[in-house]
Every structure is written in C-alpha cells, then in structure tokens.
Structure 1
Amino acid sequence: MHTPTNNPHSSAMRRGRLIRRHGLFTRVWHWVNLACLVILLMSGLQIFNAHPSLYWGNDSTFDAPALQITAVRGDDGAPMGIVRIAGYQIDTTGVLGLSRHNGELDQRAFPSWATLPGPQWLAMGRYWHFAAAWIFAPLLLAYLAYTLISPTRRRLIWPTAAQWRALPATIAHHARLKFDHGADYNGLQKLTYLLVLFGLLPLMVLTGLTMSPTMNAAWPWLLDMFGSRQSARTLHFIFAFALVAFFVIHLVLVLISGVRNNLRSMITGRYRIGSDTAPARDNRHA
C-alpha cells in the first residue's frame, strides 16, 4: 500500500516551477499594444459610422457597395437595421444599423457603446485614431526588429522542425481543450503569433497608410499593392475584424488554460511549468 509523503521536494514537483518567459520590453509592448488596438478599433468604428459602406476597386459605386450597414423601413413601415453583403440582406436590428442610444432607436452602423470618443464625433474620432496609430506603428516596427535580432526571441516564436511535424496533433490536442504548460510555446501558438505579428498587423498598418493621399504621393507603390484607396479601406476593415477574432480566441484560451499563470507571465515575466514537461530553457531575455 502506498503511504502519502510530506516530502517538500515531491510537493514542489507537483506544483512545477517558475521560469522567466517574457522580458520587460515584451511585457510593456504587450500592454501598450493592447491599449492602442482597443482605441484604434473603437475610433475606427466611429470613423466607419460616418460612411458605413465598403467598396472594391477605384470606383465608389454608392448603389452597389461590397458591404453596407444601414437602416431601412420594413414591410410594416417600422425601421430595421440591416447589413447588405454580396447581394444578401441580413436583419441586424438592435445591434448594427439601428441600435439604442439614450433609450431610443438611432440609425448608426455600429452602436454608440462600441465607438470612441463619443456616440457621433467624426473629427475627434480621427484624432484618437491617428494618435494611437502613431504610437502603435513605431512600437510594432521596433518589436518586429527585436524579434528578428534576438536569438532567444526567435527561438521562442519560430516553430522547430519537430513542432512543424507535430502541428496536426497539436491542433487536435487544442481542439480537445488540452493544454501543456511547458517552457516553450507549442507549434500552433508560434505559427499563430507569426501570422499575426508579421502578417496581419503590418497589413493593418500598410492599408491604413494607403488611405492617406499624402502617403500615396510619397509611396505610390502602396496603391499598386492594394489596388486603390477604396480596396485598401475594405481590406483594413477585414483585417481589423480578423484581429478581433484573434483577440477573442486568445482571451478564451488564456482563461481556460490557466488565467493566473498566463497573466503572471505578462505582468512579472514568470511562468509556471509542470514537472511532466521537457527540461526548461530559461528565456530570460525573451
């Protein structure tokens, strides 16, 4: 019969141990980046509300936009919020197109609670958007350079050959809501961060710059890259909501995989790994 033991070493093994996963620069960048992205999203929705339609190509065909969020009169004469996309019309009353503000239904693409700095203030919304963008873009460039220059950071974010081979199994593992608490990110996490950091976020910045006539004059290749300012605006909108989808999934995974451990790693830099993981590598400069 097995007799329980009060061996402190065994207790420590069950609890795992703390490693240094994230350095100060990464942690500061993470939280400043989060604040900037929230302001960019909410002020961007404010700007979109001023003209809630998207187009593709050089022409703005007001009668046939690629996407439109508006309000119309229904068959019974009552107002209804709708989203028109690809020839289809979706009733979104109460959320998109027509939502409540101060207790009354008001026509607006996105509800007032989702916009900054107020329910309908285009000029100030643009100021907020550009102010956050000029903090976000240089910090993103600095972080990407830091990731490429730092060997430790590259190891933490680039999948190993073994992780590439194990990617299908890792995806299946996550689908069953099973998570490992190792010193290293797994292949799926690394691939996702690579796509977001070196794909989605730079494209957000570039499409934003393409909408500026001044930047078109300075960098005409932006228009060649995205086709037109209208196409860039549509892509900017799509990328923004792809980022929202990433944020929601990221937040859910943080909550269900160990909110205390994950938050501690982004506040103090320390992350607790279990005794059943591979030997830890101390990423003290990551």
Structure 2
Amino acid sequence: MPSAERPRPPMETIRRHGLVTRLTHWTNVLAVLVLLASGLQIFNAHPALYWGETSTFSRPWVAMAAVERGGEFVGLTKVGGAVFETTGVLGYSGEVRGFPAWATLPGYRSLADGRRWHFFFAWVFAINLAVYLAAGLIGGHVRRDLLPDRDQIRPRRILREIADHARLRFPHGAEAKRYNLLQKLAYLIVVFVLLPMMLLTGLCMSPAFGSVGYGLIELFGGRQSARTLHFLSASAIVLFVVVHLAMVVASGAWNNIRAMVTGRFAVRPEEAGT
C-alpha cells in the first residue's frame, strides 16, 4: 500500500505537566499581568528612568513626555541620546501620560490604587514562585525537565535547533516528549534570573526595605538603578511572553493549552520511531 494511503495511527498521549506546575503557571500568568499593568500605572507617576542612587532630572536615559507643536500635543520618547515621536502610545495618548490608559491598572490616573494592586499581587507572585521552585526541586521537575541533557548541548545539535526554530520546524515524536534546548534555556533564564530580579529590584524601591537591605540596593547600583533594572526585567518578561505565545500557536495551540490545563500532551507514535 502506498505510504500516502496508510491510515494515520492514533495519537499517543503522555503526561507533560504535573498539577503544581499547572496551578503555579496560571497563577503566575494572572500575577504577572496585574503586576505589569499596575507597574505601568506607577511608572506614569514619573515616566523616566535613571542610573545611580538619585534621580538626575536633567539626564534621564529613558523619558516619556509631551510637547506642544502648532497647538497640538506630540508624544516623545527619549532613549539614551535618541528621541522618537510616539504620539498616541507613549508620552501623549489623548492626555499627557507615559503609557496609555488601556495598558495600565487602573485605567484612570491613581498612583495609590496602582500601588495597592501592585503590592498585593507582588505577594501572590512571590509566594507562587516559592511554591513552584520548592515543588520543582523536591519533585524533580527542575532536574528532569529544565536542565539540558548532555546530548542537547552538542554544538551541532544547538545549531540545528536554532535553524529549526527559525524555520518554525518543531520536534515530533520522542523529541516532542521533552523540552528542547532553547525552551529549557528560556525557562531557566525566566525562572532563575528574570523573575527573581524583578522581585529583588522591586524590594529595593521600598523605603521600609532600605533600612535592612541597603547592601542589596548597593549591589544593584543604587535605588534608581534598581528601578531601571526592575523595568528592564519586566520588559524582558513581556518579550518572553510574546515569543512564548507565538511558539505556542505555531507549534499547536490546542495541544499546548490542553497540556497546561489537563497535563496531557498528544504525540504521534510513528514519529517517535516506534
């Protein structure tokens, strides 16, 4: 029988994600979304970033503002020595503000309400991260699923995976039953670098923490440097989320979402070399 006429074998279903991984994943999604939106509300109170201990108002390295030209406001965003016109999004979006109302929580101007949302979900985020790390280390999820295998770190294998991702070619069969190297590296960086940095730099901006954790503030280069690193780590997480969602859709949205809801992931057995 020609191969084109062979019946397609049934899908093989494997257990991809444990209960704790799934619960902490969705809790983290909610917490990070609220933290980002409320963080932009807080940022709008002073839409500029500096390096060092204090704010040098005349020399921000990032700043959002609005200027009047010909009777109309124009939004401007400064990054280093470059200035970009960002009317409608940054600096001016119907009113003078850093980020537009649709991106902030709450949508109306309120530093106090933004801080309430931010601080409450910061605790949700911190506790959830601690639960994930503890369960992952004790249950073996980190060692089993996130640490690269020896065969995955061979130079030829790394180059092949980068090329496959660039062409949106994703692993199948036995290879699809585990995270590939690029996935593992991305998750390790997010879980063990970006998320902890966002948490620690956020603590550095708290006046109450400054009296007991000044050494950490100095480690980050000062309170304003910590604020800048907080913003940059949050921006990197946004970039990760955008790429992550694109990969989820490109590699099979329903299968990936079902795996993170039920824990089950479908793989075709003939592609596993069986």
- The TM tier, using the shorter chain, reads over 0.9
> How far apart are residue 77 of structure 1 and its match?
4.3
| 2:269 match | 275
Which residue number in structure 1 is paired with residue 11 of structure 2?
A: 16
CA deviations on 1:154-173 (whole Å, 9 max, x unpaired) are: 21111101111122211111
Question: Counterpart in 2 of 1:102?
Answer: none
Note the alpha carbon deviations across 1:1-27, whole angstroms, 9 max, x for none: 649878xxx543xx4311011111111
**2:138 is aligned with 1:149:** yes
Structure 2 counterpart of 1:244, which letter? V
Q: Give RMSD over aligned pairs.
A: 1.8
Q: Whole-Å Cα distance in 1 between the matches of residues 49 and 188 of structure 2?
A: 28
* Residue 118 (structure 1) aligned to one of 107, 110, 113: 107
**2:158 paired with 1:158:** no
SS in 1 for 2:54: coil
Query: 1: distance between equivalents of 2:212 and 2:77?
Result: 36
Q: Count how many residue pairs are aligned between Structure 1 and Structure 2.
A: 269
Q: 2:168 aligns with which of 154, 161, 177?
A: 177
Could you list the per-position Cα deviations for residues 211-263 of structure 1 after superposition, in whole angstroms to 9, with x for gaps in the alignment?
Answer: 11211212222112101110000110111111100000000110111001000
Residues 1:154 and 1:79: Cα distance change in structure 2 (over 3 Å): same
Q: Is the CA contact (8 Å cut-off) linking 2:20 and 2:135 kept in structure 1?
A: no
CA contact (8 A) 1:45 1:115 kept: yes
- Show the counterpart of 2:44: 49
Alignment partners' CA distance in 2, 1:185 and 1:177: 15
Is the 8 Å Cα contact of residues 54 and 223 (structure 2) preserved in structure 1?
no
Aligned pair 1:224/2:210, yes or no?
A: no
Q: Cα offset for 1:141?
A: 1.7
Give the equivalent residue in structure 2 for 1:31: 26
- Letter matched to residue 193 of structure 2: G
Gaps of 5+ in 1: 100-104, 281-286
Counterpart of 2:252, as a letter, is: G
1:132/1:198 CA distance change after superposition, 3 Å: same
Stretches of 4+ aligned residues off by more than 3 angstroms = 1-6, 276-280
Q: 2:248 is matched with which residue?
A: 254
Q: Mapping of 1:46-125 within 5 angstroms?
A: 46-74=41-69, 76-99=70-93, 105-125=94-114
Normalising by structure 2, we get a TM-score of: 0.93
Percent of aligned positions that are identical? 50
Task: Identify the residue that residue 236 of structure 2 maps to in structure 1.
Answer: 242
Q: Distance in 1 between matches of 2:4 and 2:214?
A: 72
Deviations 1:42-85 (A, max 9, x none): 000000001111111122111111110110123x3431000011
TM-score (ref. length: structure 1) = 0.89
* Distance (whole Å) between structure 1 residues aligned to residue 18 and residue 68 of structure 2: 56
**SS of the counterpart of 1:178?**
coil
Write the distance in 1 (CA, Å) between the matches of 2:3 and 2:150: 43
